[in-house]
Structures are given as structure tokens and as C-alpha cells.
A and B are shown apart, each in its own frame.
Chain A
Amino acid sequence: MPLTCKSCRTYLTAYVHGELTPRARRRVDAHLNGCRSCAAEYTRHSRAARDLRSTIVHMGQPSRTQLSTIWMAVQSDLEIPSKGQERRYSPLRVGAFAFVLILALMLPPLLNGERVYAQIPDPPTPLLMRVTYSVSPEAFLIRTTETREPRNRANREPHLMVLIQNIAPTPGATEQP
């Protein structure tokens, strides 16, 4: 089926750029051979493509000076990180930093003459332990008492007894808090 002028013109740009399938190209060729108006439109398209190509190619041609300026900037950008890294990790700087850090940690206790301890937090449910042991070194008796502090110290009763070695307490066992 031959192409109409309207459909031929929709194909023209693709035709100029060589994007059409061989079959579509043959149909456009056949139409252009018989239609002077579309042939003229095709000439305008191909001339535009040629002009665009020749104009865009020359757009923004850099001068030698511009390229040299950019190259110098590229070189300096490539060198800066290596210098920065050397400076950052130089042993002298690391040593000085470590010395200042140690001095800052050591100075307050040395000046106060006291030792600084970290405060131990209160346990949530403290347990008091009483160790009962006999004269004989073989037997140990451990008693633990509940210490839901200090609600009622009088009612505090031992609730667990653990005998570690000998089951029976030996006579004359003493109790130590």
C-alpha cells in the first residue's frame, strides 16, 4: 500500500537518520520518487541534519589556554588528597595528640591526690550473704537471706541454705556475717 504525504512526512526524520526498517525505507523511497513536495521536504530535512552536524561539532571548541588551565586544576586536585593524608597521619602529629590525651586524663587525679573510681550502680535486688563455715575446712555452709531492703529487718529470715561440701553442719560451727 503506497504511503500518503502525511505519513511519509512523519517518517522523514527517521529516514534521514537511517532508522527505518528496510521495508519502510523502500516505501518512503517509492513515495519520494513520485512526490516533488515530499522530496523537497526530505531535502530540507537532510540539509538541517548536515547543518546541525557541522554547527554542533564546532560548538565550544576549547582553546589551548583553557585546556592547560583545566589540566593544572586536575593535577592539583589529584595531589591535594595525598598531601592531606600524609599530614593527617604523620607520626609526630599522632604522638602529640596521644600525649595531650594522656595528660588530660592523668592531670586531675594527680592534682587532687585522690583516686577516682567510677561509681558502682546499686543492684536492683541486692542479696546479703552470710557464710557459715565450720572449724573443719572441709565443710562450708552458705546462707542467703532475702533483703528487700530495709522494709522489715526483724522479719528477715533465711530462705535458702546451700551446703557446699558436707551436708550436715559440724558441731561448733561458727557464723560470720
Chain B
Amino acid sequence: MKTPTVEQHDINDLIACALAGEQVAFASLYEVFAPGVYRLCYSLLLNHHDAEDVAQETFVYAFKNLKRYDSKLSAFKTWLFTIAICRCRNVYRRGRPLLIELTTGLQNALHAPRSETPEAAYAHTSAKEELERALANLSPRLREAVVLRYGHGLTYREIAEIMDCPPKTAESRVRLAHDALRGALDPVGQGLLDELLSF
């Protein structure tokens, strides 16, 4: 799904219209930001049901408290992501371990290009599953940092704002997560070879 590109002043107009009570403006804001918020929630929780719940809670909270949003302080996307991450942290705090759905690979598999061979498509899907496992093993803070950086292309300053930490901390979290995840995308054979050579 392609996210519509909307300029910040258009977003501010939409927010003003929503505050004036126009239902269409709420729907437009949802249409623009829902895919990103959902992807963020899924990448952090690795579970479709939890991701749906948290995305829903995020938009309900944001729309109810829309008058609290200040465009001078942050972008609307950053504000939404902050709310979503707070809700995701509530899910972590419930103490439930992150469960990777077994059917995830089937439901959400990356569609291989027509030119891609079945072997290549399988390798692509298995790389994604490996990455999900590696993400689940990361600490929540590192996972948040790497998902915001690689999944949403945010700057370190924006990541720091969302995670409520200094930009340097955000940078180091991305770096640590990168180091931890690097092995997940290596081919299995290479990993095995490395293991054998290490003995």
C-alpha cells in the first residue's frame, strides 16, 4: 500500500478541519498515517492482533486529544508515533513474551517479483522470518530505535524525540541494534561456516 504524500501544511489544515468537527478530516488523517502507525506497531509487537489493538488505541487517543497537539513542537507523525510507542510499551509491561505468529510468513510474505526464482523468493521470506526472530530477541529500546530508523526513515533527532532520550543515545541504540541484527540477514550457510570456524 502506498502512503499518500501529504505536506505538513496540508496536515495542519486537516487537523484544523478535524478540530472544527469535520469527520472527513479525521478520515483523511487516518488514511495518511494509519499504514505507518500499523507498521510501527507490528514491527515492535510482531503480532497482528496486538498491532491492530494498539493502532486503534493510538488513533482514538490522538483524535480525542487532537487539541493538545502543537505543530510548533513536533510533526504530527512524530506525535502519533510517540503515542503508539507508549501503547506498545504498555503491551511489553504486561509481561507477555513476544510471540511470532507461525502464519506470519504466509500471510505477510513479501511478494517476489515475477522474475524472481522460487529459491530466491524462499530465501527472501526466510530472511524476513529470521529478522523477525532477531528483532524479538532485541531489547525493546533497541528494537524501537532500529525500527524507527530503518522502517520509517526517521532522523536521530526525531527518534530521540519519540523515545524521550538524547540524540546521541538514539544513535548508539541504532548502532547496537544494527550490530545485533546484522547476523540475522546473513545467509544460513555463512553463519554455519562462521560457527564452524570459531571452534
List chain A residues, Cβ under 8 A from B64. 78
Contacts of A31-84 to chain B: CB distance below 8 A: 44-45, 48-49, 51-53, 55-64, 66-67, 69-71, 73-74, 77-78
Q: How far does the alpha carbon of A61 sit from the alpha carbon of B3 in the complex, in Å?
A: 11
- By a CB distance below 8 angstroms, the chain A residues around B179 are 13
Q: A56 to nearest B CB, angstroms?
A: 4
Interface secondary structure of A, over-half rule: helix
> Which residues of B (133-154) have their CB < 8 Å from a CB of A?
146-147, 150-151
Please name all residues of chain A whose beta carbon is closer than 8 Å to the beta carbon of B38 when the two chains form the complex: 60, 62, 66-67, 70
Q: Give bound CA distance, A50 to B178, whole Å.
A: 11
Which of A48, A60, A70 touches B178 (beta carbons < 8 Å)? Answer: A48
- If the complex has contacts A48-B181, A60-B39, are A74 and B150 also in contact, measured as CB distance less than 8 A? no
Q: Which of A14, A45, A62 contacts B34 (CB 8 A)?
A: A62
With A60-B43, A70-B52 already in contact, the answer to whether A55 and B128 are too (CB < 8 A) is yes
Q: Is B127 on the interface with A (CB-CB < 8 A)?
A: yes
Residues of chain A lying within 8 A (CB to CB) of residue B181: 48, 52
Chain A residues within 8 Å of B110, by CB: 58
Residues of B close to A19: CB separation below 8 A: 156, 171, 175
B185 CB to nearest A CB, Å: 5
Q: Assign chain B's interface to a size class.
A: 35 or more
A59 near B34 with CB under 8 A, answer no
- With A51-B127, A59-B128 known to touch, is A66 a contact of B174 (CB < 8 Å)? no
Let me know if B39 and A62 touch, CB within 8 A. yes
Q: Considering the chains assembled together, what is the distance between the CA atoms of A61 and B107 in angstroms?
A: 10
> Are B127 and A17 touching (Cβ within 8 A)?
no
Complex contact A56–B63 (CB within 8 A): no
How far, in Å, is A44 (CB) from chain B's closest CB?
8
Interface on B for A, CB 8 Å cutoff?
Answer: 1, 26-27, 30, 34-35, 38-39, 41-43, 48, 51-52, 55-56, 59-60, 63-64, 108, 110, 127-128, 131-132, 146-147, 150-151, 156, 171, 174-175, 178-179, 181-182, 185-186
Other CB < 8 Å A-B pairs besides A55-B131, A61-B108, A66-B52, 15 of them?
Answer: A13-B175, A13-B178, A14-B171, A14-B175, A17-B178, A52-B150, A52-B178, A56-B147, A58-B110, A62-B1, A62-B42, A67-B1, A70-B59, A74-B59, A78-B26
